[in-house]
Structure 1
Amino acid sequence: MLDSIHMMTKMGDRPYALQMAKLLDPSRVYFGTRVISRDDGTQRHEKGLDVVLGHENAIVILNDTENAWKKHKDNLILMEGYHFFASSCHQFNNKFKSLSELRRDECELDGALGFILKVLKQIHHMFFEV
């Protein structure tokens, strides 16, 4: 399973994608060098799985924007946006303070990332049970 985990950033360029992968996986255990950015896509302004080696039915996409994955909605799990940095709140015109401004992170039990982690664990279990 670890060989098939890729990281694809929202609409970030390659340097941004690499920096996010470094923050999320500093030991390179999960993503390794498999980082995909908007610079790697084959179609401008559209995300796609054509740059990922592997079967599409074994790929799960997490995103907070459904329209970005027009051709792969069956693979998409629509999730709540995660706004740790103030710039993220400003970018999406959110009127609330970011988690960094509040000097805290979300609760593991009821936050967006905690919820998605539970979903991914269930999917992983179901996929490998069969």
Structure 2
Amino acid sequence: MMTKLRPFVRTFLKEVSEMFELYIDTMGDRAYALEMVELLDPQREYFSGRVISRDDRTQKNKKDLDIFLGHESAVLILDDTEEVWQTNKENLIVMERYFFFASSCCQFRFNCKSLAELKRDESETDGALATVLKVLKKIHNMFFDQELKDNLVDRDVRQVFFFLTAET
């Protein structure tokens, strides 16, 4: 399998890790998950062993927050596949898929030209990661609003996310 990292991914991970605790959650097997960690986080700065693969699942072909530490009210999910998160859609930010290679288009049964075929790549300033980073920063700022700081126990990140999406 050939893998190309999205432009801006390391900067994205650095900035996001300063706001959130990061996990990798993949429908791939454990070996694949660990290879992705090695590519994305070679210095072990961001995920610290928080890796979930299909081998760790309680249900086949479905992702669920039941194996995460923490409350659903404090978890955001960033994934490119909505269908696997049936019970946690309120926590999900759907990420645009990255089709750099033509084989990726075929693998996911998309009838499109890959970025390589188009001889271009995502922009670091207005590509998918930059767009999602802006949303995550807004959610983080709203969730930890200084005026509401005393009442963190009752906060729900899903309500903040819903408010932001209803606003746009």
Shorter chain as denominator, the TM-score bin is 0.7 to 0.9
Residue in structure 2 matched with residue 7 of structure 1 by the alignment: 24
Instruction: Call closer, same or farther: CA 1:44–1:60 in 2, change over 3 Å.
Output: same
Instruction: Call closer, same or farther: CA 1:125–1:24 in 2, change over 3 Å.
Output: farther
Residue 82 (str. 1) matches residue 104 (str. 2): no
Q: What is the aligned-residue RMSD (CA, Å)? A: 2.2
Residue in structure 2 matched with residue 44 of structure 1 by the alignment: 60
Give CA deviations for 1:53-86 in whole Å, capped at 9, x if unaligned.
Answer: 1111111111222221111011011222122333
Residue in structure 2 matched with residue 67 of structure 1 by the alignment: 83
Instruction: Call closer, same or farther: CA 1:125–1:42 in 2, change over 3 Å.
Output: same
Give 5+ residue unaligned stretches, structure 1: none
Aligned residue type for 1:22: E
The TM-score normalised by the length of structure 1 is: 0.83
For 1:13-32, what aligned pairs fall within 5 Å after superposition?
13-32=29-48
Q: Secondary structure at the match of 1:124?
A: helix
Instruction: Call closer, same or farther: CA 1:31–1:74 in 2, change over 3 Å.
Output: same
Q: Secondary structure at the match of 1:116?
A: helix
In structure 2, how many angstroms separate the alpha carbons of the residues matched to 1:7 and 1:100? Answer: 26
Give 5+ residue unaligned stretches, structure 2: 1-16, 150-168
Higher relative contact order (CA 8 A, sep 6+): 2
Q: 8 Å contact 1:6–1:31 — kept in the other structure? A: yes
- The ranges of structure 1 where at least 4 consecutive aligned residues each deviate by more than 6 angstroms after the TM superposition are none
Equivalent residues, number:
129
Identity of aligned residues (%): 60
In structure 1, how many angstroms separate the alpha carbons of the residues matched to 2:104 and 2:80? Answer: 13
For 1:71-110, what aligned pairs fall within 5 Å after superposition?
71-100=87-116, 104-110=120-126
